Amino acid sequence: MIDVVYSVNGRILHVDLTNDKVWVEKYGNDLLELFIGSRGIQARLYWDLVSPEAKAFSSGNVLFVGSGTFTGTPLPSSGRTTVTFKSPATNMYFKASVGGDFGLKLKLNGYDVVAIHGVSEKPVYVYIENDHVDIIPADKYWGLDVRTAHIELIRKHGLDADTLLIGPAGENLVKYASVNCSVYNVAARGGGGAVLGYKKLKGIVASKGDRSVILYNPKKFYEKSLKVSLNIMNDAALVATAKFGTASATMGLDRTSTLPCYNFRRSFWENAYRNAGEYYVEAGYLIGRAGCAQCIVSCHRHTATSKYGGVDTVGPEYETSNALGGNLGNSDTDALIKMNDLANIYGLDTISLGGVIGWVMESYERGYLKDLKEELGVEPLWGNVDAIIKLIEDITFRRGTGDLLAEGLAIACEKVGTETCKWAIQSRGLEHSRVETRIARAYALAFALNPRGPDHLHTETFAEFGFTEEARRLIKRLTGSEENAGIGKDSGRPEIVVWHEDIYAVTDSVGLCAFIDTAGFAVDEVMLSELFEDATGIASTPEKIMKSGERIVTLERMIQVREGRSRKD
């Protein structure tokens, strides 16, 4: 008998595309206590359901989507969704995180996780309306970009519904294709969009849902949620993020020589301000702000430009601003907004996209890929925005050299010439996130240990920089000395990384945005444990909840060892 669960539904929806079947699996507090929620439970399901021999592009690759334990509660910034799958880029276990409203809608329909099994013969999408789940033909939506498909599906199923979709890049199996929620919120890394493309699944539509989230101790939970809200409003990093978006990090990284430019050949740039969040506001590109479900930070930027026929979109975030900006020598903000919009609607990971194009530009400069000038109609030189836009199109639709570039850097550089792999900035098949790890050494250690590869949204050690008083206090607590804050230092880095690994696992599993406890510091493990107990009724302490985070991290490493990873990786 399954016990009563609070703050979650205790239900996993399984969808078998091969056999056109759906069923519901129930779980109880025993699983929740061990693995906390979304990310942790998905890792356990992956262990049980995905064979180490399964290929990323195979019917045996089960893809999981799920909301957090705190999603749907009054706690701010608790609307994150986790997507888990075997990555076609790394050929190993991978989890990606995304904001938006989809996870909330999924939970209000009565499901904590959806597990997508098998492969459909024809394009389909899944429609969820409470206990009613349909697998519906999607021929008319296949080939549409994410924004257009979202509009069409919402028009059909109601304005209160929300979507998780892939774009043409996913349909064409680009190995860094994204999974998009609510159009502009992107589970970008690892190629989850390509996994859905292989399964012929355009996406999932969730109705508004009729359920509500029941808390074990709502009064205490509400009181703590109010305290977290006040902490957010008084945290220096989060105040800057609310005002200028995540691209507000640009100038701090530039000042500390940790801003990767020109394919990591430089770590600062005279035109960095043109990629900064402050500039988007100052120059009039910002026309509004938006937040994910239950978020008061609202870091999303609603931007527009009259150029390129008029572009009205969301973003760019920091990673995109740098990957398609300074990384490519691009200081044209109008063009950057256009590139960001194309990546959004085509369904592309901008970090990998920028990494690939940066490698193309450096390779061309060094005498490789010389046929690209004729193929593109322009030279792929640093800062040539026409070349960048053309490459985005060619990669999405696998045209010409774009077909090779869609495979990612690890494969492309070997095909073009192993010498070019020296400036193909990737590890284990994943292109490098936008921070200079040769001097930010906690980041370097975190990336080396990261099951995903060199990526920030698994262990974001932003506190290492010591930009704010809150960050310096955390570094002192973790390492014993505030002197360990700042880049270029080795002391205390293991302690910094271990804490961030574990709290990230907790944060992802409860559905919180990592910004509020690793970039800002509105919650810590004490608050998280109290919130977890008030939400679920499961007794918790700071030590216990961090042990659960450690358990999740360990399980993910066990999965990767089972799939063939070793110390040499």
Predicted pLDDT at 1: 45
Cβ-based neighbours of 403, under 8 Å, separated by 6 or more: none
Provide the residue type at 397 as one letter: F
Q: How many CB atoms lie within 10 A of CB 493?
A: 20
Domains of the chain and CATH, by start: 11-206 (3.60.9.10), 242-431 (1.10.569.10), 441-562 (1.10.599.10)
The residue to which tokens 């836009």 are assigned: 389
Give the separation between CA 137 and CA 125, rounded to whole angstroms. Answer: 6
CA 46/CA 290 separation, integer angstroms? 33
Could you give phi then psi for residue 211, rounded to 5 degrees? -90, 170
What are the CA-CA distances from residue 167 to residues 345, 346, 352 (Å)? 6, 5, 16
What pLDDT score was predicted for residue 215? 98
Predicted local confidence at residue 147, as pLDDT: 98
pLDDT at 514: 84
User: How confident is the model over 50-73, as pLDDT tens digits?
Assistant: 999 999 999 999 999 999 999 999
User: What confidence score (pLDDT) does residue 456 get?
Assistant: 86
Q: In sequence order, which ranges of 17-144 are alpha helices (DSSP H)?
A: 29-35, 38-49, 102-108
**CA 412 to each of CA 45, 369, 384, 400: distance values in angstroms, whole numbers, following the listed order:** 33, 11, 21, 13
**Angle made by CA atoms 457, 462, 464, in degrees to the nearest 5:** 140
> Token pair for residue 318?
């920091």
- CA 21 to chain CA centroid, Å, is 29
Contact 248, 240 (CB under 8 A): yes
Q: What are the helix (H) ranges across 347-457? A: 350-365, 372-376, 385-396, 402-405, 409-416, 441-449
- Residue pair 116/554 in contact (Cβ under 8 Å)? The answer is no
pLDDT at 185: 94
Residues in the chain, pLDDT under 70: 1-3, 569
Residue 246 burial (CB count, 10 A): 22
What is the predicted pLDDT for the residue at 2? 56
- pLDDT tens-digit map of 65-105: 999 999 999 999 999 999 999 999 999 999 999 999 999 99
> What is the CB neighbour count within 10 angstroms for residue 265?
13
pLDDT at position 292, please? 86
Classified as helix, coil or strand, 364 is helix
User: Would you call 210 exposed, middle or buried from its count of C-beta atoms within 10 A (0-12, 13-18, 19+)?
Assistant: exposed
pLDDT value at position 452?
Answer: 85
